[in-house]
């Protein structure tokens, strides 16, 4: 079953732009249909860079971006999920808990702004305000890798994405938590948060056939399996779902591992979630833990994150 997936086609969380076995589908030889629109297949179960048609590169063991560099002005471009310039959006650095750090800057009519941030290191930011194209739901990007100071000085741009209220409610509607933006406005939604993530390898390429396990203090979060796909009563939340193999614009409620885009979502969670990614590296016979990250989730907000190798 497929449902609309409006995640941007950009790599999330990259500025240059407790129960690991809970969701173990795809690691036991289950065939994951891996053809892409370009017709490039990827091998079932083995972690793959589907675009290149080659095994994912995990030779680095742990992704090392190099030494953090000085804080210098970095150019940012903020856009909406619909690739529209987010004019008038507020952009501010945040810490790992989501608390603002420093003074927000406002994007211009083209969605551009300049913010002084540490270079060649992992930072987090929040987008709020207007321009996504309407109201920007608070959108957090945790652990984004910034450009080097030299690249920033040469004009390299950090890409940031803000979620519009309509798109946020659209996702919630797919999960059966409310009917429309109007119902939300009239009744006050009290919506739970949403997480959108991307799995990448040592080359920062999206990883196919990776299995995402998500846990909270209350226990592990199950897959949004086809048997409980959205109905009038909704799915059982929270749950984990992957992007469709053939199109990143859709959810696939039958998928048990990432497709070519390396993307996944956690719907209807609250508090913090710990994301653990596992997979079968080419040439090995047992699944390996590839990386973890902990992402705070806030009501009526979106948290974005990239799972780098062993971070």
Rg of the Cα trace of the chain? 19
Tokens of 51: 């675009």
Q: How many domains does the chain have?
A: 2
What's the confidence (pLDDT) of residue 184?
44
What's the confidence (pLDDT) of residue 252?
80
What's the confidence (pLDDT) of residue 214?
95
Task: Enter the pTM of the model.
Answer: 0.78
Which secondary structure element, helix H or strand E, spans residue 167, and what is its range?
Answer: helix 165-174
Going by their DSSP bridges, the two strands 2-4 and 48-49 should be labelled as: unpaired
Do 203 and 303 sit in the same domain of this protein?
yes
CA 69 – CA 15 distance, rounded (Å): 15
CB 101 within 8 A of CB 93: yes
CB 161 within 8 A of CB 304: yes
Domain encompassing residue 146? 69-170
What's the confidence (pLDDT) of residue 300?
80
CA 279 – CA 193 distance, rounded (Å): 27
**Angle at the Cα of 139 (from 111 to 259), degrees rounded to 5?**
100
- Tell which wins on pLDDT, 90 or 5: 90
Do 73 and 165 sit in the same domain of this protein?
yes
- 104-145 pLDDT per residue, tens: 999 999 999 999 999 999 999 999 988 887 788 899 999 999
Do 139 and 38 sit in the same domain of this protein?
no
| Residue 238 belongs to domain with CATH number | 2.60.40.10
Sign (positive/negative) of CA torsion 309, 25, 216, 272? positive
pLDDT of 282 strictly over 60: yes
Which secondary structure element, helix H or strand E, spans residue 164, and what is its range?
Answer: strand 157-164
Do 89 and 146 sit in the same domain of this protein?
yes
What's the confidence (pLDDT) of residue 280?
94
What's the confidence (pLDDT) of residue 166?
66
**Angle at the Cα of 219 (from 172 to 26), degrees rounded to 5?**
75
**What three-state secondary structure class fits 20?**
coil
The answer to whether residue 249 sits within a structural domain is yes
pLDDT of 226 strictly over 70: no
Q: Helices then strands (H, E): number in the chain?
A: 3, 19
CB 112 within 8 A of CB 77: yes
Do 265 and 227 sit in the same domain of this protein?
yes
Do 51 and 104 sit in the same domain of this protein?
no
Mean pLDDT rounded to a whole number for the chain = 77
Tokens of 22: 């809970």
- 255-277 pLDDT per residue, tens: 899 999 999 988 878 889 999 99
- 151-210 pLDDT per residue, tens: 999 999 999 988 776 666 655 555 444 334 444 444 444 466 788 899 999 999 999 999
pLDDT band at 234 (very low <50, low <70, confident <90, very high): low
CA 42 – CA 52 distance, rounded (Å): 9
The answer to whether residue 176 sits within a structural domain is no
Please choose, from the candidates 156, 159, 126, 163, the residue with its C-alpha nearest in 3D space to the C-alpha of residue 142: 126
The answer to whether residue 182 sits within a structural domain is no
- Tell which wins on pLDDT, 233 or 193: 193
CA 269 – CA 133 distance, rounded (Å): 25
CB 268 within 8 A of CB 299: no
Range from 6-15, 97-106, 280-289 carrying the lowest mean pLDDT? 6-15
**Angle at the Cα of 191 (from 189 to 197), degrees rounded to 5?**
150
- 44-70 pLDDT per residue, tens: 589 999 888 899 999 998 888 889 999
CB 291 within 8 A of CB 128: no
Do 56 and 86 sit in the same domain of this protein?
no
Do 125 and 38 sit in the same domain of this protein?
no
What's the confidence (pLDDT) of residue 74?
97
- 16-42 pLDDT per residue, tens: 432 222 333 332 223 333 333 333 344
CB 252 within 8 A of CB 245: yes
């Amino acid at each position: 079953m497929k449902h609309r997936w409006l995640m941007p086609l950009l790599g999330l969380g990259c500025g240059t732009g407790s129960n690991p076995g809970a969701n173990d589908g795809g690691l036991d030889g289950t065939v994951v249909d891996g053809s892409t629109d370009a017709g490039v297949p990827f091998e079932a179960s083995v972690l793959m860079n589907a675009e290149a048609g080659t095994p994912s590169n995990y030779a680095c063991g742990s992704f090392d971006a190099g030494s953090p560099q000085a804080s210098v002005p970095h150019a940012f471009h903020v856009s909406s999920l619909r690739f529209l310039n987010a004019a008038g959006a507020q952009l501010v650095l945040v810490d790992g808990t989501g608390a603002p750090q420093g003074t927000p800057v406002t994007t211009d009519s083209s969605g551009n702004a300049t913010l002084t941030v540490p270079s060649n290191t992992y930072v987090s930011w929040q987008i709020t305000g207007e321009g996504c194209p309407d109201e920007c739901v608070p959108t957090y990007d945790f652990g984004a890798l910034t450009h080097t100071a030299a690249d920033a000085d040469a004009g390299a741009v950090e890409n940031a994405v803000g979620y519009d209220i309509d798109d946020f409610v659209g996702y919630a509607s797919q999960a059966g938590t409310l009917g429309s933006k109007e119902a939300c406005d009239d009744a006050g939604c009290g919506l739970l948060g949403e997480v959108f993530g991307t799995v990448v390898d040592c080359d920062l390429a999206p990883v196919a056939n990776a299995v995402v396990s998500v846990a909270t203090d209350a226990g592990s979060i199950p897959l949004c399996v086809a048997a409980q796909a959205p109905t009038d009563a909704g799915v059982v939340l929270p749950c984990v779902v992957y992007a469709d193999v053939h199109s990143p614009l859709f959810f696939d409620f039958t998928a048990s591992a990432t497709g070519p885009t390396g993307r996944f979502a956690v719907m209807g969670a609250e508090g913090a979630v710990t994301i653990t990614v596992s997979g079968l590296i080419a040439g090995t016979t047992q699944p390996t833990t590839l990386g973890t990250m902990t992402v705070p989730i806030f009501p009526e907000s979106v948290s974005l994150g990239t799972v780098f190798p062993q971070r």
